[in-house]
């Protein structure tokens, strides 16, 4: 039986950050093998980069189209099983559509596309093809995030009343995009990033985290986005009031200019009977508070052992969370290859529906902020 799953990559060459992360995440648990890639818009750079990652030269392609065509012709058991898309946002949609059209499963970075329209097309395509689609909302791969979600589902917190989710970063507090940092420049370029920097790059993670843990969908929003660093075309900071299903309310803020913040995603969620606090930078701890008993310190490996590799107190972090999503996705692909059914729901990974909501969140934030008023959530 062929349990190893084969990955091709589009993007993630020299100067990229998230491409390397995807490669590590895939290698970590030994289920996924990188077999091909189109790493750069410059075919020469793509070729050269292929050597860095030990690929044979005939599996390193100049363009994603070339890769998809060539791989499709290879025999099963040799050709890639799925494409991982780690390009700037505006390239997600065409690559994903091409991959799906040629029968390949897709793993895609968030935000899924640059607008809701594209997102819905992709959703439609996934439904039509029946292929698997992984949207890498990394932070849902942490064991304590899944534990929080389970606690809410089991009703331990009672009816949810309030959600506060924050995603502060400080690396864009100055004109980082002028320093030759490729990571910075595309993120504040509307043609590559879409309509919002903060909400597209990080706010969408925060919104997804809130919806994932609470199981509640955002229904209304009132946003106030700002550009603090002069000369930027996109926002670099934003605050949003939220209303959720079932009467819950909340706050979301995301910022690139919060000096001193590294990657400070965190969430607090309060129900009738209990409350939870989780911080991404110390991801193995989940604080649970209760109406009538002491606060508890819940810990990876003790209170939640799923998706862990080492005993309690041996910290697992971001790469492991990322790997968890890929393991779930790889197992789904392996099951499909073995003739079994598999889905995001059964195998546990974020997918194209989350992508559509993510794009709607971004568009809604931009619209609400422009109008300076409450709006209904766009989808």
Residue in 124, 215, 302, 306 binding its own copies, rule: CB under 8 A: 302
Find the part of the chain contacting its own copies (CB under 8 A) among 98-106, 112-120, 165-173, 186-194: 165-173
Q: At which residue do the structure tokens 């968030």 appear?
A: 110
The answer to whether residues 206 and 265 touch, using CB atoms and an 8 Å cutoff, is yes
Element (H, E) at 99: helix 92-101
Site for its own copies contains 306 (CB under 8 A):
no
* Whole-angstrom distance, CA of residue 59 vs CA of residue 67: 8
CB-nearer residue toward its own copies: 122 or 160:
160
Q: Does 181 bind its own copies (CB under 8 A)?
A: no
297 scored as a contact of its own copies (CB under 8 A): yes
**CB closer to its own copies, 162 vs 337:** 162
Reading the block at residue 343, the tokens are 């889905």
- Give me the torsion for CA of 346, 348, 349, 351, rounded to 10°: 30
Site mask for its own copies (CB under 8 A), range 6-45, x = bound: -----------x--xx-xx--xxxx---------------
150 binds its own copies (CB under 8 A): no
Residue 245 is classified by DSSP as G
CA end-to-end span of the chain, whole Å?
Answer: 42
Over 323-377, what HEC string results?
HHHHHHHHHHHHHHHCCCCCCHHHHCCCCHHHHHHHHHHHHHHHHHHHHCCCEEC
Q: Does 367 bind its own copies (CB under 8 A)?
A: no
Question: Of 141, 250, 348, 364, which lies in the binding site for its own copies, with binding defined by CB under 8 A?
Answer: 250
Whole-angstrom Cα distance, residue 189 to residue 196?
Answer: 9
**Among the listed residues 41, 72, 97, 287, the single contact to its own copies using CB under 8 A:** 287
> Which of 320, 325, 347, 359 forms a contact with its own copies (CB under 8 A)?
320
We find the least distance from the C-beta atom of residue 355 to its own copies, in angstroms, to be: 22
Q: Pick one of 290, 305, 306, 341: the residue that binds its own copies (CB under 8 A).
A: 290
Q: Counting contacts by CB under 8 A, is residue 312 touching its own copies? A: yes
| Binding-site member from 50, 88, 274, 348 for its own copies (CB under 8 A) | 274
Q: Which is nearer to its own copies, 150 or 295 (CB)?
A: 295
Q: Please tell me the distance from the alpha carbon of residue 181 to that of residue 200, in angstroms, as a whole number.
A: 18
With CB under 8 A as the contact rule, the residue among 84, 87, 204, 239 that binds its own copies is 239
Q: Which of 116, 234, 298, 330 binds its own copies (CB under 8 A)?
A: 298
Query: What is the distance between the alpha carbons of residues 19 and 14, in angstroms, rounded to a whole number?
Result: 9
The window from 40-48, 115-123, 268-276, 327-335 that contacts its own copies (CB under 8 A) reads: 268-276
Residue (56 or 130) nearer to its own copies, CB:
56
**Whole-angstrom distance, CA of residue 364 vs CA of residue 373:** 11
How many residues touch its own copies under the rule CB under 8 A: the total is 84
Distance CA 79, CA 35 (A): 8
| DSSP label of 6 | E
Segment near its own copies (CB under 8 A); pick from 76-84, 95-103, 184-192, 282-290? 282-290
């Amino acid at each position: 039986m062929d349990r190893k799953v084969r990955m091709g990559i589009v993007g993630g060459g020299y100067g990229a950050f998230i491409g390397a992360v995807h490669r590590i995440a895939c290698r970590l648990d030994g289920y996924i093998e990188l077999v091909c890639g189109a790493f750069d818009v410059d075919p020469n750079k793509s070729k050269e980069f292929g050597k860095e990652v030990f690929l044979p030269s005939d599996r390193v392609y100049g363009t994603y189209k070339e890769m998809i065509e060539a791989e499709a012709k290879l025999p099963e058991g040799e050709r890639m099983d799925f494409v991982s898309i780690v390009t700037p946002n505006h390239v997600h949609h065409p690559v994903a559509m091409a991959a799906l059209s040629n029968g390949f499963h897709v793993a895609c970075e968030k935000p899924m596309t640059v607008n809701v329209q594209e997102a819905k097309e992709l959703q439609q395509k996934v439904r039509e093809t029946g292929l698997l689609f992984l949207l890498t909302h990394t932070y849902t791969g942490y064991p304590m995030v899944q534990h929080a979600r389970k606690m809410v589902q089991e009703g331990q917190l009672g009816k949810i009343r309030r959600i506060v989710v924050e995603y502060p970063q400080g690396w864009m507090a100055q004109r980082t995009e002028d320093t030759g940092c490729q990571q910075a420049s595309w993120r504040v370029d509307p043609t590559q990033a879409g309509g919002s920097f903060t909400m597209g790059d990080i706010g969408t993670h925060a919104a997804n985290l809130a919806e994932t843990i609470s199981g509640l969908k955002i229904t209304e929003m009132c946003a106030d986005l700002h550009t603090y660093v002069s000369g930027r075309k996109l926002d670099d900071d934003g605050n949003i009031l939220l209303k959720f299903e079932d009467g819950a309310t909340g706050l979301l803020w995301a910022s690139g200019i919060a000096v001193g913040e590294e990657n400070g995603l965190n969430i607090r969620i309060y129900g009738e009977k209990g409350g939870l606090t989780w911080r991404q930078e110390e991801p193995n701890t989940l604080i649970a508070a209760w109406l009538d008993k002491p606060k508890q310190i819940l810990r990876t490996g003790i209170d939640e052992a799923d998706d862990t590799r080492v005993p309690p107190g041996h910290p697992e972090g971001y790469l492991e969370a990322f790997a968890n999503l890929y393991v779930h996705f790889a197992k789904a692909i392996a099951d499909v290859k073995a003739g079994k059914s598999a889905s995001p729901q059964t195998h546990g990974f974020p997918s194209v529906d989350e992508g559509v909501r993510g794009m709607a969140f971004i568009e809604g934030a931009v619209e609400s902020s422009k109008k300076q008023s409450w709006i209904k959530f766009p989808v």
